[in-house]
């Protein structure tokens, strides 16, 4: 089963949505204020169920959201409708985007870039973000670090992530130290309208990249790396034990 095909409806009921909502509510606006940067047009790559994109549209941005998952885009369209927000949601692959110098800001959050399992794919996604930006535009994204995947993810290898009366969501983690790839086996038991239970299984993989390699790819593409944090909300310095890294890159112009 393709990832998020069965998981999407459960995903939007889990803790994941709070990550996006907090970013849009305060973390990103406060950071952009500190940079004295007020984007008018925003491209949210791997927008998922649309929480971040819809919230930013409600704050006045012209937002386009793209994601590979048809199920996630359907949820995002419904969320925009419910929130009376005008967002252009599209099914697109972050490695092959059609945009040319249309946006002031490109975002890609919640370690979506780690789902790119080859350096070529990662470079292609960075190039697409570069091409989509107007000169002077910013590219802001986060990634799980190698430490985050190899250590933090492995602290608890099997656990219940979320549950309600009509579903239970289980995670199992493994890490391939040779290829720096973390695998999350996702099992969901979902109660159907007829009282029976459906079992849904998905396998999610994320690759950890050395921070220096990501910096190199950004600069090789033409970006200027202007900020790198262990936490965007605290704007704290990246440490060797930081589970996540936040990049801000600028397209010259």
DSSP, collapsed to helix, strand or coil, labels residue 183 as strand
pTM attached to this predicted model? 0.97
Could you tell me if 128 and 97 are in contact, meaning their C-beta atoms sit under 8 angstroms apart?
Answer: yes
Q: Which domains does the chain have, with CATH numbers?
A: 8-144+210-250 (3.40.50.150), 148-207 (2.20.25.110)
Q: Is 121 helix (H, G, I), strand (E, B) or coil?
A: helix
Give me the pLDDT at residue 2, please.
82
Instruction: State the burial class of residue 74 (Cβ atoms within 10 Å of its Cβ: 0-12, 13-18, 19+).
Output: middle
Q: What is the pLDDT of residues 17-47, one digit of tens each?
A: 999 999 999 999 999 999 999 999 999 999 9
Query: What is the per-residue pLDDT across 82-133, written as a single tens digit (0 to 9) for each?
Result: 999 999 999 999 999 999 999 999 999 999 999 999 999 999 999 999 999 9
Please report the pLDDT score of residue 241 as a whole number.
98
Q: How many residues does the chain have?
A: 253
């Amino acid at each position: 089963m393709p990832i998020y095909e069965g998981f999407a409806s459960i995903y939007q009921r889990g803790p994941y949505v709070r990550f996006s909502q907090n970013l849009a509510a305060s973390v990103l606006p406060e950071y952009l204020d500190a940079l004295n940067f007020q984007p008018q047009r925003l491209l949210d790559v791997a927008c998922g169920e649309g929480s971040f994109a819809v919230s930013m549209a409600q704050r006045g941005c012209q937002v386009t959201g793209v994601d590979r998952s048809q199920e996630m885009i359907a949820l995002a369209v419904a969320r925009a409708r419910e929130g009376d927000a005008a967002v252009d949601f599209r099914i697109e692959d972050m490695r092959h985007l059609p945009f040319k110098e249309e946006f002031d800001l490109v975002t890609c959050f919640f370690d979506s870039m780690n789902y790119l399992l080859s350096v070529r794919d990662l470079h292609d996604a960075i190039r697409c973000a570069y091409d989509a930006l107007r000169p002077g535009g910013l590219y802001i994204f986060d990634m799980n670090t190698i430490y985050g995947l190899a250590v933090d993810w492995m602290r608890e290898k099997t656990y219940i992530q979320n549950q309600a009366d009509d579903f239970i969501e289980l995670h199992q983690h493994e890490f391939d130290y040779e290829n720096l790839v973390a695998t999350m086996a996702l099992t969901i038991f979902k109660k159907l309208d007829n009282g029976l239970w459906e079992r849904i299984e998905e396998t999610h993989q994320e690759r950890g990249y050395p921070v220096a390699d990501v910096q190199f790819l950004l600069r090789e593409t033409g970006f200027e790396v202007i900020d790198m944090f262990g936490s965007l909300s605290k704007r704290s310095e990246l440490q060797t034990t930081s589970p996540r890294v936040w990049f801000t890159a600028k397209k010259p112009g």
